[in-house]
Structure 1
Amino acid sequence: MRETSRPEETARVTRGARRFLRACGFAVLGELPLPNGRRADLVALAPDGALRIVEVKSSRADFQADRKWTDYRDYCDRFYFAASTELDAAIFPEDAGLIVADAHGGMLAREAPILRLAPASRRAMLIRFGALAAERYCALAFGEDAPV
């Protein structure tokens, strides 16, 4: 069996985490630009309007090299990491949730604490989420250019 590259592993974990979130009843968008200029790997919208951000990590080196995830907490009600089954869960901070995933699905290994978005921030994020979802739908349905 060949070793997978970092981009391949990231794609697998992202797919599994997305499948898990959708199975839990969330609407999910990948690569959602945030108001601070960062881009969240996955944003999940619950039926009650709660927002979850999931940062995908493909390796220990990926986690250690990238600390921009600390900038995501102001834009969600709960923050999670999604990681492959090969990663040691102990490397992730205890104050974040953890989803363990592969290409086929995922499971919740640790629930995230509730952060509670301020009403104005929630409104801004819901508008951002809906607008990007609509743009991506139009791109798929009508063959128009999709926004990044």
Structure 2
Amino acid sequence: MSAPLIRDTLSPPVDGRQSDTARAIQRGALRYLAARGLMGVPEFVLASGRRADIAAIDARGEVWVIEIKSSVTDFRTDRKWTEYRLYCDRLFFAVAPDFPAKILPEDAGLIVADTFGAGLLREAPAHPLSAATRKALTLRLARTAASRLMGLMDPEAMRGIEL
């Protein structure tokens, strides 16, 4: 008797909000972050209620937020990313290779990604979080990541539990 198959945890579930392009950028950006020693949490809800495309943390506790832009229209119509600076030490945009990078603000980092990986085109300036914000954000990241892992291992255990 073979073991039951577990859902492919390398691919986030399709929820209808992201385009194929955005999902490809997300996957490549997450791979890039992991290679740099940052662990990323996609679709991370901040204390403000806004949803960051990716929040990531390194071994020292530095927090990055990566805002995925899948098209010029997406960039021009979505301005909530300006609020994300309050929740990270560094803010980045992640875009596809054919995205016109010159339209992105220069005070944010730039990652170019596809489904296989990513590269850093521009480092983001540091704007360190306060100690209290860092602690709250770190706890939120840990609880979110742990709850997602538990949900994969035992979906019934997470029923009705909100973070």
One-letter code of the match for 2:106? E
1:29 paired to 2:41: yes
Is structure 2 residue 26 aligned with structure 1 residue 14? yes
What is the CA–CA distance in structure 1 between the aligned matches of 2:138 and 2:145, rounded to whole Å? 10
Residue 40 of structure 2 corresponds to residue 51 of structure 1:
no
Extract unaligned runs of 5+ from structure 2.
1-17
Aligned to 1:93: 105
Q: Report Cα offsets for 1:72-111 as digits up to 9, x if no partner.
A: 0000000000000011111110000000000000000000
Please state if 1:110 is matched with 2:139: no
SS in 1 for 2:121: strand
SS in structure 2 at match of 1:115:
coil
Amino acid at match of 2:51: R
Q: Distance in 2 between matches of 1:8 and 1:140?
A: 23
Aligned counterpart, 2:136: 124
- For 1:48, the aligned partner's letter is R
Number of residue pairs aligned between Structure 1 and Structure 2: 143
1:143 deviation in Å? 2.8
Work out the CA distance in 1 between the residues paired with 2:147 and 2:92: 26
Report the equivalent of 1:67. Answer: 79
Structure 1: how far apart are the matches of 2:39 and 2:20? 24
Where 2:113 maps in the other structure, the secondary structure is strand
**Structure 1: how far apart are the matches of 2:31 and 2:110?**
15
Query: How far off its partner does 1:25 sit?
Result: 0.9
Q: Which amino acid aligns with 2:109?
A: G
Q: Unmatched 5+ residue regions in structure 1? A: 1-5
Considering only CA atoms, is the larger Rg found in Structure 1 or Structure 2?
Answer: 2
Which residue number corresponds to residue 3 of structure 1? none
Alpha-carbon displacement from aligned partner over 1:9-48 (angstroms, at most 9, x marks no partner): 0101111111110111111101111111101000110110
2:84 maps to amino acid = Y
In the superposition, the TM-score normalised over structure 1's length comes to 0.93
Percent sequence identity over aligned pairs: 44
Q: RMSD of the alignment, in Å? A: 1.4
